């Protein structure tokens, strides 16, 4: 098991008021939801922004290494970072990278066009096609002798930005000194409206957990994280949230004097978004009242519609209007006898 601290990005920025922060995160949650809903079979996420995301750090390269800080994102499956020289188009109002653009170390090598990693970065395009794009001669393609030809640049689209990058391999070292040789990552010299790097934790062979499990089987391709509650006051000291790679094999664990058995929820397979973590929603309880969820939220159909996506980059849970209205009505019924609705706050934050 490996423990890595996650840092909330609110500590790296200042918002005018808590209402401003809530407005920003609620708008962004809705944006991510819309893009998850309307894009099929494409690696599409949306920008990660301070105030609503968590970051992790590690070192990359040898013998000279650089400390890299990236945003954790369970909605994508690639680790990519800005590399020097770096240009971000239309980024005047955007948050700068968490770390200076990376200077590739002498140990970094380009991923060849014939590799499965190259195919994965190009939405499973066949390696022969990729090597042809890389200008590998036909006879070499037929003989699978294109290792000296690098993987062509890949394109990633985001909610209001995009990037072009190349795949490289280098050594990665986690805070507990676990080292991973030949770790595959994307290196981007040019982005559009997207200046920050991402550590993809989604399904897929290029995600950080998948690559760690291939060289460290004891981690078992598993991870978990606990996002510690915090104040919206950016001046307060915060405890880091733990990210755990791997897990204890015990089904029970000790919390204080109480022995607690873990409860597990199975993931749903989603052909529309195979790299997302989807779960079924049975219902929501408000006090003693249970509000059943619509049937389409309980399962994913053959077209990939339905279910709920677990997304580290979305602050607020997004619900269909009918279910949302039922929850709001039930909640309002329980608390309206004791509290008045804060209409002004609702108007300034976009929340209700």
Write the pLDDT tens digit of every residue in 84-94. Answer: 999 888 877 66
As separate numbers, helices (DSSP H) first and strands (DSSP E) second, the chain gives: 7, 17
CA distances from 153 to 30, 78, 112, 124 (A): 31, 14, 11, 14
- pLDDT (tens digit, 9 = 90+) per residue, 238-285? 677 888 888 655 555 555 556 667 778 889 998 887 888 999 999 999
Q: Give the Cα separation of 55 and 278 in Å (integer).
A: 22
Closest CA to 98 of 107, 89, 86: 86
pLDDT tens per residue, range 269-281:
988 878 889 999 9
Contacts of 56 (CB under 8 A, 6+ apart): 4, 5, 6, 7, 69, 70, 72, 199, 243
Active-site annotation holds for 311? yes
Q: Which residue has the higher pLDDT, 316 or 41?
A: 316
Q: What's the token pair of residue 180?
A: 């991973």
Identify the active-site residue in 53, 73, 77, 170: 73
pTM tops 0.85, yes or no: no
More confident residue, 33 or 95: 95
CATH architecture of 2-225: Beta Barrel (2.40)
Q: Where are the domains of the chain?
A: 2-225, 264-349
pLDDT, residue 203, reads 86
Residue 272 is predicted with a pLDDT of: 80
Give the C-alpha separation, 266 to 276, whole Å. Answer: 13
Alpha helices (H) in 39-159, listed in sequence order? 116-121, 127-133, 138-142
**What token pair was written down for 29?**
């949650």
CA dihedral 56, 203, 77, 193 (to 10 degrees): -90
Contact, 11 vs 48, CB < 8 A? no
Q: Quick check: 160 pLDDT over 70? A: no
88 and 195 Cβ atoms separated by less than 8 Å: yes
Per the annotation, the verdict on 73 as an active-site residue is: yes
Say which of 53, 77, 170, 311 is annotated catalytic: 311
- From 15-19, 43-47, 300-304, the region with the lowest mean pLDDT: 43-47
- Who wins on pLDDT, 222 or 167? 167
């Amino acid at each position: 098991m490996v423990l890595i601290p996650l840092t909330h990005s609110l500590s790296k920025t200042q918002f005018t008021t808590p209402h401003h922060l809530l407005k920003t995160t609620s708008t962004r949650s809705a944006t991510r939801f819309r893009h998850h809903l309307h894009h099929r079979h494409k690696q599409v996420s949306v920008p990660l922004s301070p105030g609503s995301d968590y970051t992790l750090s590690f070192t990359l390269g040898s013998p000279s290494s650089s400390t890299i800080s990236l945003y954790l994102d369970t909605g994508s499956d690639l680790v990519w970072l800005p590399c020097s020289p770096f240009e971000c188009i239309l980024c005047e109002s955007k948050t700068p990278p968490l770390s200076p653009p990376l200077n590739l170390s002498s140990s970094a090598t380009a991923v060849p066009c014939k590799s499965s990693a190259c195919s994965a970065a190009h939405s499973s395009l066949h390696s022969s096609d990729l090597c042809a794009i890389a200008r590998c001669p036909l006879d070499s393609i037929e003989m699978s002798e294109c290792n000296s030809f690098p993987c062509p640049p890949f394109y990633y689209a985001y909610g209001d930005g995009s990037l072009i990058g190349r795949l490289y391999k280098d050594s990665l070292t986690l805070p507990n000194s676990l080292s991973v040789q030949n770790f595959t990552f994307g290196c981007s010299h040019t982005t559009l409206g997207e200046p920050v790097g991402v550590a993809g934790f989604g399904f897929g062979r290029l995600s950080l957990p998948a690559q760690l499990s291939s060289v460290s089987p004891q981690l078992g391709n598993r991870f978990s994280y606990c996002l510690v509650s915090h104040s919206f006051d950016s001046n307060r000291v915060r405890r880091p949230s733990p990210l755990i790679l791997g897990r204890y094999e015990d089904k029970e664990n000790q919390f204080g004097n109480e022995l607690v058995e873990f409860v597990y929820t199975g993931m749903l397979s989603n052909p529309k978004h195979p790299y997302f973590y989807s779960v079924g929603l049975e219902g929501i309880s408000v006090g003693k009242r249970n509000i059943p969820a619509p049937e389409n939220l309980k399962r994913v159909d053959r077209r990939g519609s339905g279910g709920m996506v677990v997304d580290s980059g979305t602050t607020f849970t997004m619900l269909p209007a009918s279910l949302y209205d039922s929850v709001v009505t039930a909640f309002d019924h329980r608390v309206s006898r004791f509290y008045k609705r804060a209409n002004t706050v609702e108007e300034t934050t976009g929340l209700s």
